[in-house]
Amino acid sequence: MNFLRMFDDHLQDLARDLMIELFGGTIIGAPTRWVADGLYLLAKSLTTAFLSVYCVLKAPGWTSDSAKVKERLVRAFIESGVYVEKQRRDLGDGKIKPYRVFPTIERVAIAANCTTVNLRLPTGMDPAVIEGRAWVFQSVFGPTAQLVNDGASRFRLVVPAALPSRTAYSLEKAQNALQQAGGIALYIGEAYDGSVAINLKQSPHVGLVGVTGWGKSTALRVILNTWLQVFGPDRLRLFLGDLKSTEFGIYRGVPHVEGSIAVRRAEVAAMLAEVREILRYRQELFHAAGAIDLDEYEELTGERVPFVVVCIDEVSSLEGETAVHEVLEEIGQLGRSFGIFLVLSQQRVDREVMDGKLKNNLNVRIAYRMSDDMNSKMFLGTTEAAAISVKGRCYVRESTELKEVQTPWLSPKEARAQIEEIKRRYAGIEKAPLLPPINPHVPQPVELSEEENDELRELLDAIIQEEVPPHARTR
């Protein structure tokens, strides 16, 4: 208080000295000192009143989250040019001057899971202006901010709250998510507005990308274990390719898994050749029944046809395998109607690693931490995945929607325990074959290699000439 009093006295003395220097000892017959003291007191009162009013008006904004949101919105409007510029006459000098009319912030609702802002556009603003600059809201509020057009010049900005850095796996949550999505769905994790599951009948092919140690392996365990616990072998069959040889070993012996787990490029090629045969067989079945897809085929025939999912980890190891990529592209183009889906996982998406046609067929893209902005931009359309700092966090792109998701933690130990229970549940079950058995009485087409063709010709020539070569007798 003493300091403030001394400061006040000093300012008052400065005001007196200035007035005396400018006007002398008297002003209009009154001592200049008295006039200076009066003017100083008036100026101090006006300043105090102005500061008080300013604090009363601005103080709520210093503590109110709603006011902070409004302030950031106005900055976004200015930065992106989301306003209507009009003109009016200035009351001071009478000149015509421009001014800006921003969208009206009608309501800010802050909830535990998200912040919702209701906006009304000013008269004369084309809705395409704000829709075309929605990027600025993602720049200000984060990549998952969504601008929703509610019609009648009204918009809704939805800003998801921050997700927890870790969440435990819950089969109940996963089951509920699959039921809500409908059909055969792929459970990914938890977002700000609840569980996230993708209906594969609508978005049939999925790509998972992320560097080692950031949640991709956990995501594969969550996806597969959820399926195995929800669907029986009569409804779901899996073809697993594990080119890293460390991911899918725990699923060996599970009734849902067709054949052995492919761990070498040649084994993956053979596995995909079998899937192609299943695709072509179903084409014939559906054509004969006059069905356009699996649902209609089941409805027309009453026959239950299992879904087929091809899941390959480290698909980038198949680089250069032209035949393999052709099969994957064929499944990507035709598989949905016949209940055949792809789940492909790898660490990066450079053009040298993933063919453009194959990448374009991935309707759902799940990106965990990515190596750099370029890979994130190529795969996701945004650089956000390169900046992920939480393990298990990913961005899910389905169509044009981008959603931030936290994949639940499912430890290998817990996953193994679930798998052992699944094996016990379906022990001794007989599965219907995906392809019809070969009739030994009907000639079957057989594809031979060039070397086998040469040996067969040599053998046939020898038989025709009634001369069997020595090496053929030993076979």
Q: At what angle do helices 265-289 and 294-301 cross, to 10 degrees?
A: 50
Looking at residues 453-459, what average pLDDT do you find? 74
Q: Does residue 278 carry a pLDDT above 60? A: yes
- The mean pLDDT value for 122-146 works out to 86
The more confidently predicted of residues 313 and 29 is: 313
What is the rounded average pLDDT of the residues 448-471?
A: 66
CB 366 within 8 A of CB 396: yes
Model pLDDT, residue 141: 85
Across the chain, mean pLDDT equals 85
Asked whether residue 61 carries a pLDDT value surpassing 60, the answer given is: no
Q: What is the pLDDT of residue 470?
A: 54
* Mean pLDDT, rounded, for 197-217: 93
pLDDT confidence tier of residue 449, bands split at 50, 70 and 90: low
- 130 pLDDT more than 70: yes
* 366 token code pair: 């799940």
Burial class (CB in 10 A: 0-12, 13-18, 19+), 127: middle
- Residue 309: C-alpha distances to residues 86, 186, 354 (Å): 59, 11, 20
pLDDT above 70: residue 356: no
Please report which helix (H) or strand (E) contains residue 21, including its range.
helix 2-23
Q: Are 225 and 240 in contact (CB under 8 A)?
A: no
Which residue from 133, 115, 123 is spatially nearest to 153, judged by alpha carbons? 123
Whether 474 has a pLDDT exceeding 50, the answer reads: no
Under 8 Å between Cβ of 244 and 226: no
The pLDDT score that the predictor gives to residue 440 is 55
The mean pLDDT of 50-71, rounded to a whole number, is 71
Amino acid at 42: L
- Please tell me the predicted confidence (pLDDT) of residue 36: 72
Checking if the pLDDT of 19 tops 60, the result is yes
Position 152 confidence tier, pLDDT thresholds 50, 70, 90? confident
Better-predicted residue by pLDDT, 355 or 29: 29
Is the pLDDT confidence value at 103 over 80?
Answer: yes
- Give me the pLDDT at residue 42, please: 81
- How many Cβ atoms are within 10 Å of 417's Cβ, its own excluded? 11
Burial class (CB in 10 A: 0-12, 13-18, 19+), 256: buried
Q: What is the mean pLDDT of residues 261-282?
A: 94
Q: Which two tokens stand for residue 152?
A: 């009648």
% of the chain surpassing 90 pLDDT: 45
Q: What's the rounded Cα separation, in Å, for the pair 19 and 402?
A: 67
pLDDT tens sequence across 323-333: 898 999 999 99
Q: Report the pLDDT averaged over residues 373-379.
A: 89
Among 221, 179, 203, smallest CA distance to 400 is for 203
Please give the Cα distance from 88 to 1 (Å, whole number).
48
Per-residue pLDDT band for 335 (boundaries 50, 70, 90) equals very high
Mean pLDDT of 204-213: 93
pLDDT in tens, 390-405: 999 999 998 878 899 9
Proportion of the chain above pLDDT 70, given as a percent: 88
Please enumerate in sequence order all residues whose Cβ is within 8 A of that of 104, keeping only pairs 6 or more positions apart, or say none: 119, 120, 122
Please give the pLDDT value at position 288: 94
Q: Is the pLDDT of residue 473 over 60?
A: no
pLDDT digits (tens, 9 = 90+) for 406-443: 999 999 999 999 999 999 999 988 899 999 876 556 55
- The confidence score (pLDDT) of residue 359 equals 75
Confidence of residue 311 (pLDDT cuts 50, 70, 90): very high
Predicted local confidence at residue 69, as pLDDT: 85
Q: What is the pLDDT of residues 162-172, one digit of tens each?
A: 888 899 999 99
Is residue 58's pLDDT more than 70?
no
Give the model's confidence band at 294: pLDDT under 50 very low, under 70 low, under 90 confident, else very high.
very high
